[in-house]
Amino acid sequence: MFDFEMLGLAPALNTSLKRIGFTEPTPIQNQAIPLALEGHDILGLAQTGTGKTLAFGLPLADHLIAQSTPPEPKAPRALILAPTRELVNQIADSLRALTEGTRLRVVTVVGGQSIGRQIAQLAKRTDILVATPGRLIDLMDRRSVDLGSVKHLVLDEADQMLDLGFIHALRKIAPKLGTPRQTMLFSATMPKQMEELSRTYLDNPRRIQVTPPGKAADKVTQTVQFVPKAQKPAALRELLSKDREALTLVFARTKHGAEKLMKGLVADGFNAASIHGNKSQGQRDRAIKGFRDGEIKVLVATDVAARGIDIPGVAYVVNFDLPEVPENYVHRIGRTARAGREGEAIAFCSSDETDMLRRIQKLMKIEIPVIGGGSLPAESEGSGGAGRGRPGGQRRGGGGRPGSAKPAGQGQAKRRRPRRRSAAA
């Protein structure tokens, strides 16, 4: 374990780390930063909320500060790709705080915002470009950005960047980058086929894994309640009513479902907002700011928020709908218990979602404690599902509260507010 002053960083970076309050590295930072400073390619796996942005941002900034000549217009020296606008903005905000007092300039390009303004920004000096792939390709097609000087590439949430939704865009971007270059991939989950594909972009990488893939943060208390689909809205209202002041993030599967749920909550007197793909970037930014500031208590979202919200004050994550992709469950519940805090994740599971629950439990290698509504039905022979519930929906260990399981029909366990602790780096 090192402290940051031992690394021989540029003085301005040490000053920023002290100002931000970072003194000791998290496990992923402890392993990744020294290797990245040496120039190695990195494949890093760690839970959400454990400091991955600093793990790649600090060595990246130090490398760029060491370069004596400024970049040419439209020619960034480092490129960070992320799957959502929210995550791009979050990364950029962190890097701007880290590089305050240096000459480094961080620029973002995302969809949903004026491309003309982004072209004007790129026409100036850009050291670090943080982008979503689609908008970056639009700018490449307009010849508004030249990636030939990029000698540092970072893929954040790399499993999603290497999935079908983005891999075609990545294949267009990668050949335009400069060589040789350093490439760093970071994610909380990395399915085997994604890890194999990552080798296409990495050169003799150092693999860093501080927690098993698919494992949630230790301080997230997970529970599941079996609820008929039609009764989910009423169950959510009952749950929210028990702690109206807590910041609660609710995940729905579809854009229409998220919007309908939010409007129903507002009509019932809850201070709620929503973010999803049908919202403009301005609407999404305002909703997240209101949620972060505590003006909005309930934020209803699709998986657009599963990887792009870093709000330490989120006390509860509710999976109103279970995700079809089990890895997304890990990312969703990682929105709470961030930076050393505690949090609670509650899942509603209807009869048509039991296979989704089994896949989630198989990925996480646990059985999630049941707090009401019955138990996970036994698999039919040959169903191919994973993970059987114990009789009565009980399980031993796994972070559940002793005696928290209730027989069917007793409703939900009383919510407790997680203890607040000082944030870790």
Between CA 291 and CA 295, with CA 294 as vertex, the angle to 5 degrees is 85
User: Does the CA dihedral 291-296-297-300 come out positive or negative?
Assistant: negative
CA distance 74 to 171: 21
Tally of helices (H runs) and strands (E runs) in the chain: 14, 14
Per-residue pLDDT, averaged over 262-290, amounts to 92
Coil, strand or helix at 5: helix
The count of C-alpha atoms lying within 13 angstroms of the C-alpha of 115, restricted to the half-sphere facing its C-beta, is 14
Provide the pLDDT confidence category of residue 382 given band limits of 50, 70 and 90: very low
CA distance 153 to 70: 18
Per-residue pLDDT, averaged over 138-162, amounts to 93
Which of 45-54, 71-80, 265-274 has the least mean pLDDT? 45-54
pLDDT of residue 381: 46
pLDDT of residue 209: 87
Concatenated DSSP letters of 8-68: ---HHHHHHHHHHT--S--HHHHHHHHHHHTT--EEEE--TTS-HHHHHHHHHHHHHHT--
More confident position, 264 or 7: 264
CA distance 346 to 162: 29
Answer whether residue 194 shows pLDDT above 80.
no
Which of 64-73, 399-408, 409-418 has the least mean pLDDT? 399-408
Right CATH number for 220-393 from 1.20.120.450, 3.40.1280.10, 3.40.50.300, 2.40.100.10? 3.40.50.300
CATH class of segment(s) 4-209: alpha beta
Per-residue pLDDT, averaged over 109-124, amounts to 94
Give 314-339 pLDDT, tens digit per residue: 999 999 999 998 888 988 998 887 66
pLDDT of residue 407: 34
Q: Determine if the pTM surpasses 0.75.
A: no
Coil, strand or helix at 419: coil
pLDDT of residue 68: 83
Answer whether residue 309 shows pLDDT above 50.
yes
The count of C-alpha atoms lying within 13 angstroms of the C-alpha of 34, restricted to the half-sphere facing its C-beta, is 13
Residue with tokens 């039905």: 377
Domain residue spans of the chain: 4-209, 220-393
Provide the pLDDT confidence category of residue 217 given band limits of 50, 70 and 90: low
More confident position, 406 or 112: 112
pLDDT of residue 413: 41
Per-residue pLDDT, averaged over 391-404, amounts to 35
pLDDT of residue 164: 65
pLDDT of residue 368: 94
Take residue 308 and report the two structure tokens written for it: 């792009």
Give 54-85 pLDDT, tens digit per residue: 999 999 999 999 998 989 999 999 999 998 88
Do the domains 4-209 and 220-393 sit in the same CATH topology, yes or no? yes
